[in-house]
Amino acid sequence: MAGVSVAEYLGQRTDIDHIKIEPAGERELCPFMDGRYCHKKVPICSIRNKGKLWIVCENRLCSSKKTLPDPINPRRKIKLPLSGYQKEVLLNIAKVSFSDELTFSDVAVKREVPLKANDQSDYSADFVMTVHEGRNLLPGPDRVVLEMQGGGETSNTGEITRHIAGWRENPERTNELLRKEIPKVGTIETNAWRRQQEQFIVKGNVALMTWKGYGIIFCVGELLYDYIWRKIENKAILPSLKEHNWTLAFLEISEDQEQPILPGPLPLRVGRKLFTNYHTFVHALINQGEPSPDTFAGEFDRLDGSTVNIPKYGI
């Protein structure tokens, strides 16, 4: 395990040196949400693993939170407006998915929308997105569930915490020290996908059952896109339906390395993308494995303490 490096600290990219990043205080505003304090004890937004971005804060990509406790009356909720950053992210996703000609007034969203499920589990869509009538210039869906999963947890998180503590306490701290590789830490794509998989399958199915003109957009970070793509690339032929009636958009959110390197957060963009049929995609996901006759043959332990050799086929 080679290690990772801190890519963003409280909304500031670390790969610059001409503006020195200072340690965060106890109550710092989140750079990606208006009026909300950063909830993280160690305010790392994203890290890099083998040069690819892995988001470690739930609010970094595009938070779906829509309310905050009223500071005067905590039992009361006040609506949290979308920040300018969130609006830009949502508009860019809409442009890629529906039409490059869309403006802010053409796109509308609902946040944290409850979904019905047969097992009575609590499901909610991160967003439900639609575009102004007549502005969807392609024959895809006009309303979609929009799910965001930029990254997830890391292994050996304590090593990252110790690294940040050492940087804070160093009187000669620099951005170079902050972004120094942290060994024995990795990204856990498996856990991120396990948590998301059931949600993705249920939410997409709800969208398609509700009306024939609905679908799902699934936005993931670079490493998670790689992980999921490895599972499906050789399992099925996924039709490319961008110019046709797609029901699933699978979008990669990656670092935009073509933008100039300026202080502030790393610029993001929609990278790789697949517009296809939702059911074909799900079938490719669940159609895993291959016949394994040795697993079901060989020496078995009988419950009476003896052993028996079971042949590969038949008994």
- What's residue 42's pLDDT? 95
- Which 8-state DSSP code applies to residue 169? H
- What's residue 314's pLDDT? 62
More confident residue, 226 or 118: 226
Residues 117 and 220 in one domain: yes
Asked whether residue 1 carries a pLDDT value surpassing 60, the answer given is no
Q: What is the mean pLDDT of residues 210-219?
A: 90
- What's residue 71's pLDDT? 74
Residues 250 and 143 in one domain: yes
Q: In this structure, is residue 309 part of a structural domain?
A: no
Phi and psi dihedrals of 164, rounded to 5?
-65, -40
Residues 239 and 125 in one domain: yes
Residues 171 and 204 in one domain: no
Q: In this structure, is residue 208 part of a structural domain?
A: yes
What mean pLDDT value characterizes the chain?
A: 91
Q: How many domains does the chain have?
A: 2
Residues 161 and 97 in one domain: no
- What's residue 34's pLDDT? 85
Residues 18 and 144 in one domain: no
Q: What is the mean pLDDT of residues 238-243?
A: 90
Asked whether residue 233 carries a pLDDT value surpassing 80, the answer given is no
- What's residue 69's pLDDT? 79
Q: What is the residue whose two structure tokens read 């967003």?
A: 127
Residues 136 and 34 in one domain: no
Sequence-distant (≥ 6) Cβ neighbours of residue 235 within 8 angstroms = 284, 287, 288
The two three-digit tokens of residue 32, written as one number: 């990606």
Note the pLDDT tens digit of each residue in 137-159: 667 898 999 999 999 999 999 99
Residues 248 and 279 in one domain: yes
Banded model confidence at residue 28, pLDDT cuts 50, 70, 90: very high
- What's residue 67's pLDDT? 85
Give me the domain span that covers residue 48.
1-60+154-186
Residues 132 and 230 in one domain: yes
User: Within 10 Å of residue 121's Cβ, how many Cβ atoms?
Assistant: 10
Looking at residue 230, its amino acid is: R
What do you get for the CA distance between the two ends of the chain, in Å? 45
Asked whether residue 251 carries a pLDDT value surpassing 90, the answer given is yes
Residues 102 and 214 in one domain: yes
- What's residue 120's pLDDT? 63
Q: In this structure, is residue 294 part of a structural domain?
A: no
Residues 171 and 192 in one domain: no
Asked whether residue 2 carries a pLDDT value surpassing 80, the answer given is no
- Of 184-188, 208-212, 231-235, 268-272, least confident by mean pLDDT is 231-235
Banded model confidence at residue 136, pLDDT cuts 50, 70, 90: low
Asked whether residue 285 carries a pLDDT value surpassing 90, the answer given is no
Banded model confidence at residue 135, pLDDT cuts 50, 70, 90: low
Which of residues 165, 186, 207 is at a domain's end? Answer: 186
The CA distance from 232 to 238, in Å, is 9
Q: In this structure, is residue 75 part of a structural domain?
A: no
Residues 93 and 20 in one domain: no
Q: In this structure, is residue 71 part of a structural domain?
A: no
